[in-house]
């Protein structure tokens, strides 16, 4: 967990995002949001994240 994707905000272990298939990883990020079940999560609805996973709250 070192990078966060600038486009989808997923937290990544490498610079290339497996979801966007691009090198959109940014190492300067903060805040971690973990979504386990999007359909039951209020945060998921508010933030618009519709897949389980780890997301960054702030990316510079």
Task: Please state, in angstroms and as integers, the Cα–Cα distance from residue 55 to each residue in 25, 26, 37, following that order.
Answer: 12, 12, 13
Alpha carbon of 40 to those of 27, 28, 35, 51, 57: distances in Å? 30, 30, 10, 11, 19
Cβ 55 to Zn ion shortest distance, Å: 10
Q: Specify the residue, 29 or 40, whose C-beta has the smaller distance to Zn ion.
A: 29
Query: 17 vs 59, which CB is nearer to Zn ion?
Result: 17
Binding to Zn ion (CB under 5 A) within 9-48 occurs at: 17, 19-20
Contact footprint for Zn ion (CB under 5 A): 5, 7-8, 17, 19-20
């Amino acid at each position: 967990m070192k990078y966060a994707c600038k486009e989808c905000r997923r937290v990544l272990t490498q610079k290339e995002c497996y979801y966007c298939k691009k090198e959109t990883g940014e190492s300067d990020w903060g805040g971690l949001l973990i979504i386990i079940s999007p359909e039951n999560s209020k945060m998921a609805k508010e933030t618009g994240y519709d897949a389980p996973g780890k997301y960054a709250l702030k990316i510079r």
